[in-house]
Amino acid sequence: MAREITVEAVLNALGRVNYPGYATDIVSLGVIEAVEPLATGGGFAVVVRQATERDEVIHELAGAINGTLTRELGVRRVELRVRRLEAELGEKTGRVRLEGTRYVVAVASGKGGVGKSTVAANLALALHRLGMTVGLLDADIYGPSVPMMFGVGEERPRAAGGQNFYPVERYGVKLISMGFFLTDKTPVIWRGPMVMGAVRQFLKDTLWGTLDFLIVDLPPGTGDAQLTLAQQVALDGAVIVTTPRDVALLDATRAARMLHQLHCPVIGVVENMSYFVCPDCGERDELFGAGGGAKLALAERTRVLAQIPIHLEVREAGDAGMPIVLARPDHPASRAFMEVARRVLAAMPKEETSHVLGVPIGTVRSRLSRGRTLLRSVLARL
Ligand code: ADP
């Protein structure tokens, strides 16, 4: 039976398997790198490009591939070979890149204008103040604001040979932003594939060195850039930014659901512009109502990391090129951002206990670093 099945037929069948949590198939997404008949006959090896370390995603994917090929197509034996993206990059350049990053944390929001970039910038600096080495990847392709918030001016990432470049460093934080690569004349019509390409490029070509944290300022919404990141780098968690307004909370709920679908742990909700403190009388005014963030956190089984007050100084600090955490460490907003950082730090897994298909990640990594694609598992034997 299996002898009659062609590689093309296998690829066609895989074209009906969606990436877990998505309505797009794994062939279109470029997750399938190759399909090869097994040297021993009787089946096929499927080479999967995989960046996530999450057991459940890999298991789900493996199960779906296996089920489709064995049950629908009648393939007798399927071997899944998982190729980790970071190792691939390391092989090409001789450098370890995201391998050198301990934690990758995304800052997400359901819509623009809620202060996502402000939170990302201040969180990065707050973690740095806690003694962490930190990188900030401004993947907000539609409105990159990191260069302005960090007062970068004309400086651009330095070339480092080949396609690689060094991030710009400001206040001890390493920065990469789409804003560095756009000119005034660049039309910012980043359609799906271009967004994916741009984010991929960021991840591939930046020499971050060793980082405790890479903070990723995601574009608002639930689109392609998030999917790309989920595919190419394992997110250790995400922070959702919202304002307490009902409409914003609805969008934030969508963002939370998307992150759950991506199997990305939601560390918590940052409720921004929560309240206003009258500079004259000191009275606290909940402009947009109270308890919205808490409601969202409860519904999405997460928690509120902090409530950030609305303050002119927060905006002014950002506009002036030095975020408030640095410009005014004693400010109530800065104290709230420090609290977010402490909670994010506390939420990170302390040890690498993850397993891929029963094999500890450490083992996978060391084998991959020897430069070979790893044969992961024999999924079916009939
Ligand atoms: P987003 O990334 O969600 O689009 P930004 O971080 O760019 O949002 O913030 C939008 C605007 O609101 C900016 O001008 C920013 O300075 C301002 N802003 C954000 N948070 C606060 C705050 N807590 N108090 C005052 N202004 C704020």
Q: What is the pLDDT of residues 190-231, one digit of tens each?
A: 434 455 566 666 777 788 888 999 999 988 877 666 666 666
Nearest ligand 1 atom to alpha carbon 149: 16
Measured between alpha carbons, how far is 251 from 38 in angstroms, rounded to an integer?
47
In this prediction, residue 285 has a pLDDT band, given cuts at 50, 70 and 90, of confident
Burial 296-317 (b: 16+ CB within 10 A, else e): bbeebebebbbbbbbbebbeeb
Instruction: Indicate if the pLDDT at residue 78 is higher than 80.
Output: yes
Nearest ligand 1 atom to alpha carbon 109: 3
Closest C-alpha residue for ligand 1 atom 4:
113
Closest C-alpha residue for ligand 1 atom 6:
115
Instruction: Indicate if the pLDDT at residue 20 is higher than 70.
Output: yes
Please check whether residue 67 is in contact with residue 30, taking contact to mean a CB–CB distance below 8 angstroms.
no
- Angstrom distances, CA of residue 168 to CA of 23, 106, 149, 157, 158: 37, 19, 13, 5, 8
Measured between alpha carbons, how far is 212 from 335 in angstroms, rounded to an integer?
21
| Fold for the domain defined by 7-83+352-381 | GMP Synthetase; Chain A, domain 3 (3.30.300)
Bigger pLDDT: 332 vs 360: 332
CATH number of 92-347: 3.40.50.300
Closest C-alpha residue for ligand 1 atom 14:
315
Please check whether residue 36 is in contact with residue 45, taking contact to mean a CB–CB distance below 8 angstroms.
yes
Task: Convert the pLDDT of each residue in 81-103 to its tens digit.
Answer: 887 654 443 333 332 346 678 89
Domains 7-83+352-381 and 92-347 share a fold: no
Mean pLDDT calculated for residue range 264-274: 91
Burial 105-144 (b: 16+ CB within 10 A, else e): bbbbbbbeebbbbbbbbbbbbbbbbeebbbbbbbbbbebb
Ligand 1 centroid distance, CA of 119 (Å):
8
pLDDT at 89: 39
Measured between alpha carbons, how far is 365 from 351 in angstroms, rounded to an integer?
15
Q: Where are the domains of the chain?
A: 7-83+352-381, 92-347
pLDDT at 355: 34
Using a 6 Å cutoff on CB, does residue 308 contact ligand 1?
yes
Ligand 1 centroid distance, CA of 382 (Å):
58
Q: Of 78-82, 295-299, 360-364, which range is least confident?
A: 360-364
Token pair for 94: 């001789």
Ligand 1 centroid distance, CA of 315 (Å):
6
Q: What percent of the chain has pLDDT over 90?
A: 38
Please check whether residue 127 is in contact with residue 344, taking contact to mean a CB–CB distance below 8 angstroms.
yes
Measured between alpha carbons, how far is 75 from 13 in angstroms, rounded to an integer?
11
Substitution candidate for ligand 1 out of 109, 111, 117, 118 with most atoms within 8 A of CB: 118
Using a 6 Å cutoff on CB, does residue 316 contact ligand 1?
no
Whether the full predicted model's pTM is greater than 0.85, yes or no, is: no
Nearest to 236 by CA among 138, 327, 344: 344
